[in-house]
Structure 1
Amino acid sequence: LLILMNSDFKRVPWFIVTAGIIVLIGHYIDIFVMIMPATVGDQWFIGISEISSLLLILGIFIYVVFNAMTKAPLLAKGSPFIKESEHFHY
């Protein structure tokens, strides 16, 4: 899946998040369609096990990312480029 975005839209956070969610859902459906027909044939459905496994992986990912973010500062202390980055207009 290719999402082409104008540089103006790249500065809108909700647009980036929406595009990322669409890509992740499309990737999950792609993998699901490749694996499920070979394992269960034509009696497949999206049930509680598929939804719970997706939520489990999502929860683990969120936990690992946020746990790593709390251990390190998000802004580099003493960086000479911080002031330049604050005044940069894209």
Structure 2
Amino acid sequence: MDAALPVAYLLVSKLLQSTPVIEGLPVLRVFEELLLEQVSYIVQAFHLDRWICSHGFTGCSFASYSPWLERLLQVRSVTGSTYALGADVPVLQSHRS
């Protein structure tokens, strides 16, 4: 089982509980599965960032485009981790171009 899923479920559940109902409709409930998936990816990226740092890696390089590169870039900007990130990615393949 994905260790990030229980954390993601807890966060999304709290978010959905505190979300207002608009015109009698729990609008964000429609996105529950999508929210769970994306929050799970975020939690996994934080775990990966922590693992990279705890094992003393100074860099991580991707041979092709990976959504994990984008996620780690975002997480690293929050955590302040100093390992280098890179990829051999054509400009049109990157989401950051």
TM-score interval, smaller chain? 0.3 to 0.5
Q: Higher strand fraction: Structure 1 or Structure 2?
A: 2
Q: TM-score, normalised by structure 1?
A: 0.38
Return the index of the structure with the highest Cα Rg: 1
Q: TM-score, normalised by structure 2?
A: 0.36
Higher relative contact order (CA 8 A, sep 6+): 2
Q: Higher helix fraction: Structure 1 or Structure 2?
A: 1
